[in-house]
Amino acid sequence: MVDLQYFPLPGASINEIDTPAIVVDLDVAEANIARLQAFGDANGTSIRPHSKTHKSPVFARKQIEAGAIGICCAKVGEAEAMVAGGVKNILIPNQVVGSTKITRLVALASEANIVVAADDPDNVEQLSAAASGVGKEIGVIVEVNVGMNRCGTEPGEDTTALARVITDSPGLRFDGVMGYEGHTVAVRDESERRANAELAMNTLLSAVDSIEAAGMPVNVISASGTGTYNITGTMDRITDLQCGSYIFMDGDYLEVFQDFKPALTVLATVISRPTSDRAVLDTGMKAMSIDRGLPIVVDVPGAQYTSISEEHGVMVVEGDAQRLKVGDKIQLRPMHGDTTINLHSHYFGVRNGKMDSVIEIAGRGRFR
Ligand SMILES: Cc1ncc(COP(=O)(O)O)c(C=O)c1O
């Protein structure tokens, strides 16, 4: 890519980064990693961060160096990018369906410990045929529907029966269960979030009881998002937390709580000042997702991002913010970080406002 040559060198001011660009404060991201890990260590719960938030083996390795037991990947393509970047323990807390993806999944088992979720006996049969056909073994966990009503078997007979199918399938190792309480993680009211998450986790644990009563050991009981880390993570028997967003904390999650600090912004340039109360940025919906709302302008009191088009963002500026001029750079906090970083090829890592390193978003766009 031609514009790689223009990437600023370490030590350069943040203002030398060309825009639109994703900027990560590495000290803040590392402090978030350390904080969740310390929480897990104190509560006897392993951390298995979801890499969908950063899609980068560099950040995954930071999480593992801090003590994480491995990482989660939403898709086989993401897992391939992580394994290529040196990550050796992968859980796909999602269904891998179809012979093309299953073949790729099994191929990864030569280089890494692979565990995948399943909620369907035919899918399990295909996983088994593919793994045993090439003499490999992969771990499988049953995904249980804990109330999100997305994927997952209903707790009870369906779940226990699927655990039995996995246990009896050559090439597969029955590892346990997962249940993602995604319907609770962003509930703003803490007591409501707690009540909903505990209900969801009790559903998961009742499924575990049934499987164990049928004589199958359940080693993995995996759950949690960032918003429920301190609820799910303090419940007995939950073995590991799949939190992802905590590493960067986007605008939406900051409305839930501020236990972790914001590390990610999109750097933008003012490209037009057509009137005293309007400043136009070079950063629109091709550089920043708006599925959870328009971004927050960071540290420019009086400036508000009010409308967006493909390559432009319009800010209304009042008071001090009216000093903004063409060429000025400002930072925006996207409301949804995961979908925003998926639009970019690189992070610009900074420390104390100075360039530190450029980090490839290797899993970007790898949704197959
Ligand atoms: C299966 C699964 N686990 C965990 C998470 C954790 O997400 P977060 O920490 O962003 O709430 C997600 C988010 O989409 C998910 O789909």
Q: Is residue 172 part of a domain?
A: yes
Overall domain count for the chain: 2
In this structure, are 188 and 263 located in the same domain?
Answer: no
CA 94 to centroid of ligand 1, rounded, Å: 11
In this structure, are 150 and 285 located in the same domain?
Answer: no
- Predicted structure pTM score: 0.97
Q: Is residue 303 part of a domain?
A: yes
Q: Is the predicted pLDDT of residue 1 greater than 60, yes or no?
A: no
In this structure, are 78 and 124 located in the same domain?
Answer: yes
* Section 323-349 average pLDDT: 98
Q: Is residue 276 part of a domain?
A: yes
CA 13 to centroid of ligand 1, rounded, Å: 34
Q: Which two tokens stand for residue 77?
A: 């393509």
In this structure, are 309 and 184 located in the same domain?
Answer: no
In this structure, are 225 and 300 located in the same domain?
Answer: no
- What is the DSSP-derived secondary structure letter of residue 267? E
Q: Is residue 254 part of a domain?
A: no
**Domain stop point among 203, 221, 249:** 249
Q: Which atom of ligand 1 is nearest to the CA of 242?
A: 4
With a 6 A CB cut-off, is 179 part of the ligand 1 pocket? Answer: no
In the block, which residue shows the tokens 């900074």?
Answer: 350
CA 224 to centroid of ligand 1, rounded, Å: 7
| Residues 160-191: tens digit of each pLDDT | 999 999 999 999 999 999 999 999 999 999 99
With a 6 A CB cut-off, is 243 part of the ligand 1 pocket? Answer: yes
In angstroms, the CA 230 to CA 47 distance is 12
In this structure, are 105 and 151 located in the same domain?
Answer: yes
pLDDT above 90 covers what percent of the chain?
Answer: 98
CA 212 to centroid of ligand 1, rounded, Å: 26
Q: Is residue 80 part of a domain?
A: yes
Close Cβ partners of 188 (under 8 Å, ≥ 6 residues apart): 255, 256
In angstroms, the CA 86 to CA 11 distance is 27
In this structure, are 61 and 177 located in the same domain?
Answer: yes
pLDDT above 70 covers what percent of the chain?
Answer: 99
Range of the domain at 212: 26-249
CA 317 to centroid of ligand 1, rounded, Å: 36
| Residues 81-123: tens digit of each pLDDT | 999 999 999 999 999 999 999 999 999 999 999 999 999 999 9
CATH number for position 131: 3.20.20.10
In this structure, are 11 and 86 located in the same domain?
Answer: no
Closest residue by Cα to residue 217 from 146, 147, 139, 153: 139
Full DSSP string of 162-197: HHHHHHTSTTEEEEEEEE--TTTTT-SSHHHHHHHH
In this structure, are 18 and 117 located in the same domain?
Answer: no
Report how far apart the first and last C-alpha atoms of the chain are (Å, whole number). Answer: 23
**Domain stop point among 249, 283, 314:** 249
Distances (CA, A) of 111 to 204, 308, 324: 31, 44, 52
In this structure, are 239 and 305 located in the same domain?
Answer: no
Q: Is the predicted pLDDT of residue 2 greater than 80, yes or no?
A: no
- With contact defined as beta carbons under 8 Å apart, do 163 and 141 qualify? no
In this structure, are 39 and 160 located in the same domain?
Answer: yes
In this structure, are 52 and 171 located in the same domain?
Answer: yes
Q: From the CB of residue 130, how many other CB atoms can be counted at a distance below 10 Å?
A: 23
With a 6 A CB cut-off, is 50 part of the ligand 1 pocket? Answer: yes
Helix 121-133 × helix 99-108 angle, to 10°: 50
Q: Which atom of ligand 1 is nearest to the CA of 244?
A: 9
In angstroms, the CA 72 to CA 188 distance is 25
Ligand 1 atom 5: residue of nearest CA: 225
**Domain stop point among 249, 277, 309:** 249
| Residues 198-240: tens digit of each pLDDT | 999 999 999 999 999 999 999 999 999 999 999 999 999 999 9
Helices (H), ranges, the chain: 26-43, 57-66, 76-84, 99-108, 121-133, 157-167, 190-213, 229-232, 251-254, 337-341
CATH number for position 270: 2.40.37.20
With a 6 A CB cut-off, is 93 part of the ligand 1 pocket? Answer: yes
